[in-house]
Amino acid sequence: MLRIGLTGGIGSGKTTVARIFETLGIPVYYADDAAKRLMNQDPALRTALIETFGPLCYKEGVLDRSYLASLVFEDESKREQLNQLVHPATIADANEWLSKQQAPYALREAALLFESGAAEGLDYVIGVSAPAALRLQRVMQRDQLSEAAVKKRMATQLQDAIKLKLCDFVIVNDERVALLPQVLDLHEKLTALAAQPMPH
């Protein structure tokens, strides 16, 4: 089974694209959801987070995401500390999950696929591309955030131009080029690649 990464900047439409692949029967690992689950449920990770960021990270035993976000988006070294705790736990969890899937290929969706080191160990990576102005509008609307807050999050990610150069395939999600034919085309390509004896 091929292991395929799916990445793109915040608001590019990774989740939207991943949902289409799911309708085609392709299993998808959502790294953000998994990280959230692990931060709540993995005892070693919980202990490490409390030791690093203090007991206020959890409110009545549940991770206080907005508190943690407010800490790390203001401070790069704190963000790195958080990533160093959460990324290895998520990568290990994803690998375990991937090893159990029964499909020609499975997707691992993550915004920070290259930044976290998660791209290593994947056979191919798909990038989702959308203009920055559109991504900004989408996230402001979806998350009810100010322009400044979204721009701050965007600044913590690899620039799209760099990220997309590292991808093997690119899906354009600019609300001009139709999404569905691009996904169907890629699904066909990946299914064919998965049927070959050796990837690459």
Regarding 127 and contact with ligand ATP (CB under 6 A), the answer is no
Q: Which is nearer to ligand ATP, 5 or 13 (CB)?
A: 13
Closest to 38 measured CA to CA, from 4, 73, 68, 63: 63
Of 4, 11, 53, 190, the one binding ligand ATP (CB under 6 A) is: 11
Near ligand ATP by CB under 6 A, which window of 5-13, 38-46, 58-66, 87-95? 5-13
User: Alpha carbon of 147 to those of 130, 138, 157, 173, 175: distances in Å?
Assistant: 17, 11, 16, 21, 21
Taking residue 72's Cβ as centre, other Cβ atoms within 10 Å add up to 18
Regarding 10 and contact with ligand ATP (CB under 6 A), the answer is yes
Asked if 39 and 170 count as a contact pair (C-beta separation under 8 A), the reply is: no
Q: Which is nearer to ligand ATP, 47 or 159 (CB)?
A: 159
Helix, strand or coil for residue 38?
A: helix
Return the residues of window 36-55 that contact ligand ATP according to CB under 6 A: none
Interacting residues toward ligand ATP by CB under 6 A: 8, 10-16, 111, 138-139, 142, 173, 175, 179
